Amino acid sequence: MQKRLLFLYLKTGGGHLAPAKAVASWLQANKSNEVEAVLVDGFTGVSPLVKRTIEDGYRATQGYARWVYEMLYAINKLKVFARLTCFMVSRFVVPALEKQILAQNPDKIVVFHFFLIKPVKAILKKHGLNIPVLTVVTDPYTAHPVWYIDKEQNFLVFSESLKKYLVSAQRIDAQRVSVFPFIINEKFTKPLAPEQLQVFRQMIGLRSASKVILVMGGADGIPHGKAILSQLIAQQIDAEIVMVCGNNKRLFHQSQQLKERNPLVGIHVFSYVDFVYELLNIADLVITKCGASTFMEVLVAGKVPLINSYLWEQEKGNVEFVTHNGLGFYEKRVSMIPSIANLLITNAQMQEAMRSQIGRMGLSSGTIDVSNYILNFSA
């Protein structure tokens, strides 16, 4: 009999939805006779005001008021405030999510966002439902403190260092914590064939043999995107620039204006795209932020990241993983980005050395292993 899995996520950035979609897609393609994976936005049916406050608030603070996000993060490291935050969000989420869970009647629930942990537990307790629940911690190295307020969970994490922290510092039973490689779509592990690369380059208007600098953040674009693009244009680097703005309409408009003012520079501007895999394959350098899904896709694709920003402290471990292992650069000063980009574009020996180091890390996608683990999981 086909089992139903409920994958719960929120649209606060792309780092929660992307791994959920990757696992759901693999299960659909390979285990559809055994399981049905249902993706559910945990804010479906929730008050639009609450939805906008949290989702748009996340985008606004990370893009234009980083200090606000970081202050809230620091406050939530205190358990009393973290519990209060969860209580407030849960009050608004439970009524709508309760209807979803009862209607779907799932055999298992997989949680991909920390704000949905408490509501799920409250709903199951209220109705006396004995449904196994697995929490996928989408922060690979330094997890948001709300993930582990509840110690009586079954965790799936993406690094041994995070498991060690949960067990030693947070005193969570080691048997409750399973470690796997990060979940990304399997296709990122396989490069495009040369003829496919040329077809794609022509499709988006690139010259056949030009170097390519890809500027890309997450689903909401890259912070300081306009300034980064302006500085790259001023540097006159011998490369074409592909700018991906995601859902950031303001950045898209600003980038289009810069493109129109500089017609002799090869600038290609996109909003939200579904061809990140292809863009990474043609890129010689990726200027990006350090969200979990984004930087792991870059590294698994064997590309060198130049990181301009990250969310303290949540993404700090991601940056440290890149810089401490010699896999890329972190430079928060926008004015310095063009010179580093130019160095990496023109110094083939340096770039090859860094790509070789990325290869030696043995990074892989955990999608298959995680999918099978979820399929066989029981609390």
Segment 133-154 shows an average pLDDT of: 94
For the chain, give the percent of residues with pLDDT over 90: 74
DSSP 110-175: EE-SGGGHHHHHHHHHHHT----EEEE---SSS--GGGGSSSSS-EEES-HHHHHHHHHTS---GG
| 303 pLDDT more than 70 | yes
> What's residue 196's pLDDT?
94
| 172 pLDDT more than 90 | yes
> Which tokens in the block code for residue 176?
């409750």
Model confidence, pTM: 0.89
CA-to-CA distance for 342 and 241, rounded, in angstroms? 12
> What's residue 221's pLDDT?
85
pLDDT-derived band at 79 (thresholds 50, 70, 90) equals confident
Q: Is 176 helix (H, G, I), strand (E, B) or coil?
A: helix
CA-to-CA distance for 274 and 25, rounded, in angstroms? 15
CA-to-CA distance for 296 and 50, rounded, in angstroms? 31
CA-to-CA distance for 117 and 146, rounded, in angstroms? 9
Instruction: Report the CATH architecture of 188-360.
Output: 3-Layer(aba) Sandwich (3.40)
Write the single-letter amino acid at 297. Answer: E
> What's residue 65's pLDDT?
67
CA-to-CA distance for 188 and 364, rounded, in angstroms? 9
Segment 67-93 shows an average pLDDT of: 85
pLDDT-derived band at 264 (thresholds 50, 70, 90) equals confident
| 220 pLDDT more than 90 | no
In 3D, which of 286, 243, 288 has the Cα closest to residue 262? 243
In eight-state DSSP terms, residue 255 is: H
> What's residue 181's pLDDT?
95
For the chain, give the percent of residues with pLDDT over 70: 97
pLDDT-derived band at 200 (thresholds 50, 70, 90) equals very high
Indicate where the chain has its CATH 3.40.50.2000 domain(s).
3-181+365-376, 188-360
Give residue-wise pLDDT tens across range 93-137.
999 999 999 999 999 999 999 999 999 999 999 999 999 999 999
Distances (CA, A) of 329 to 215, 304, 324, 326, 337: 14, 8, 10, 8, 10
Choose between 47 and 3: higher pLDDT: 3
Burial zone of 270 (CB within 10 Å; 0-12 exposed, 13-18 middle, 19+ buried): middle
| 61 pLDDT more than 80 | no
Q: Give strand ranges (E) for the chain.
A: 3-9, 35-41, 108-111, 133-136, 155-157, 177-179, 212-216, 240-244, 267-270, 285-289, 305-309, 329-330
Number of other residues whose CB lies within 10 A of the CB of residue 78: 11
pLDDT-derived band at 63 (thresholds 50, 70, 90) equals low
Residues facing residue 306 across a β-bridge: 287, 329
| 55 pLDDT more than 80 | no
Segment 262-290 shows an average pLDDT of: 93
CATH fold for the domain made of 3-181+365-376 = Rossmann fold (3.40.50)
Choose between 210 and 47: higher pLDDT: 210
Give residue-wise pLDDT tens across range 318-362.
999 999 999 999 999 999 999 999 999 999 899 999 999 999 999
Give residue-wise pLDDT tens across range 236-249.
899 999 999 988 89
| 42 pLDDT more than 80 | yes
> What's residue 378's pLDDT?
87
Round the average pLDDT of the chain to a whole number and report it. 91
> What's residue 57's pLDDT?
66
Q: Helices 348-360 and 337-346, interaxial angle, to 10°?
A: 90
